[in-house]
Structure 1
Amino acid sequence: MNALFSRLRLSLVLALCTFAWAMPTHAALVEGRDYVKLAAPRPQETQGKIEVIEFFSWGCPHCDHLHPLLTQWAAKLPANVTLIRVPISLGRPQWGQLVRTYYSLQATGDLARLDTALFDAIHRQKQQLYNQANITAWVVQQGVDEAKFTAAYNSFNVSTRSQHAEQLSREYQVDGIPAIYVAGRYQALGNDFNTMLANTTQLIEMAGK
């Protein structure tokens, strides 16, 4: 009797293990709830890689909340995926100054170290970094060369890149930020930012098939 019970118990355990192995690691995404498929797919600019684009602004409080989560998530991306962050203004002149600031700091090589600091300055220190004078004074306090930053800020290259960012947001029909797009085909959705990033991960898998 004990031997029979042991065999039945072993069979049950094996069946449960087989069932668990066969179960998917995550539920399938639902279009309209977890993502939106773009009516007109956008061409990718990076050959051989899946592009993930985040439209954002340092002035946006929601982008501020997403930023630390996105940073952690992006650190685990596979080699065939590239994250492209695109600052936009959504028609707000003050945020337009931040678009220029982003590409200016990129040009001077100071973007990586001041990215999070700018979110902190605007949303926790309540600094009004919405005009060139205030922005320049702040970046100089952070150790940025004033002459190099000013030259970059007023350069044709930064103007062109800023205009391209705004044009790209119009092509994607971005009406709110943060907004995340995958492979020029999908926009990730979610009730919270953790869910949005989890859905983005699955969209990357979909795009790679």
Structure 2
Amino acid sequence: MTWSRRLFLTIALIAFQSVSAEWGEGWDPVDPPIPTGKADKVEVVEFFWYGCPHCFDLEPAMEKWTEKLPANVEFRLIPAPLNPRWTVHSQFFYAAEALGVLDQLHKPLFDAMHKKRRKLYTKQALIDFAVEQGIDRKAFTDAWNSFGVHVKVQQARKLGQRFALDGVPAVGINGKYKTSGSLAGTYTKMFKIMDELVAKEQATLKP
């Protein structure tokens, strides 16, 4: 091997190691980091889609994990509208949130789609479903069509883009890291990574 090729390979290896050092095992950095606006809390966000079977399967474990979070960790669900088909479910989520009935609709929609195999993929079908759960049709439709819900859906779309998501479920930690079952290898390892990254970010909080 010539000295020039040896030098080239050495430089390439150093460069690769430098880049690799920025990544953890089972998570990726978010570059640039996304400000959360919360200096005294660590923000954890879960991106999901109601039609995703993996999101449905993960929900019980995620609920159990969130129940143990300390006061300085804030958890949010983000109904990621990563493509046009998913947008109606994002609108459903934020309409329910705007009316204060998300607890009444969130789990039933998951169950309807994955346990009962109902095809709830259109605005009309989702509004009808909300009515089945006892929600006033006009109130829910008005919330769905409201400017506030439109803004929330656009914010969710942009946040997914900034996290460079390629699928769900995925978890963002304090706007700096993302992990998922595919990145971590297993959901058990994903939760371990989440614990480690949350603890790391807790150490940076202002008192």
How far residue 47 of structure 1 moved from its aligned partner, in angstroms, is 4.1
Tell me the equivalent position of 2:186.
Answer: 192
1:161 aligned to 141, 148, 152, which one? 152
C-alpha contact (below 8 Å) 2:104/2:133 kept by paired residues: no
What is the letter of the counterpart of residue 119 of structure 2? Q
Map of 2:54 onto structure 1: 62
Within the alignment, does 1:112 sit opposite 2:103 as a pair?
A: yes
Rounded to whole Å, the distance in 1 between the matches of 2:151 and 2:82 is 17
AA of the residue aligned to 2:164: Q
Alpha-carbon shift at residue 39 of structure 1 (Å): 2.6
Instruction: Say whether residues 1:175 and 2:171 are aligned partners.
Output: no
Q: How much identity, in percent, do the aligned residues show?
A: 35
User: 2:48 is matched by which residue type in structure 1?
Assistant: F
Query: Structure 1 residue 154: deviation in Å?
Result: 0.7
What's the offset of the Cα at 1:109?
A: 1.1
Contact 1:52–1:183 (8 Å) recurs in 2: yes
Are the counterparts in 2 of residues 69 and 194 from structure 1 also a CA contact under 8 Å?
no
* In 1, Cα distance between equivalents of 2:49 and 2:37: 21
In the TM superposition, 1:24-173 aligns within 5 A as 31-91=23-83, 93-173=84-164
The equivalent residue for 1:202 is 196
Contact map agreement 2:94 2:149 (CA 8 A) in 1: yes
List runs of 5+ in structure 2 lacking aligned partners: 1-21
- In 2, Cα distance between equivalents of 1:131 and 1:53: 25
Aligned residues: 179
CA apart distance, 1:31? 4.1
- Compute the RMSD of aligned alpha carbons: 1.5
CA contact (8 A) 1:42 1:185 kept: yes
Where in structure 1 are there 5+ consecutive unaligned residues?
A: 1-29
Secondary structure (helix, strand or coil) at the match of 2:184 reads coil
Q: CA deviation at 1:114?
A: 1.9
Residue identity in the other structure for 1:123: H
> Which of these two proteins has the greater Rg computed from alpha carbons?
1
Tell me, yes or no, if the aligned pair for 1:52 and 1:181 is still in contact at 8 Å: yes
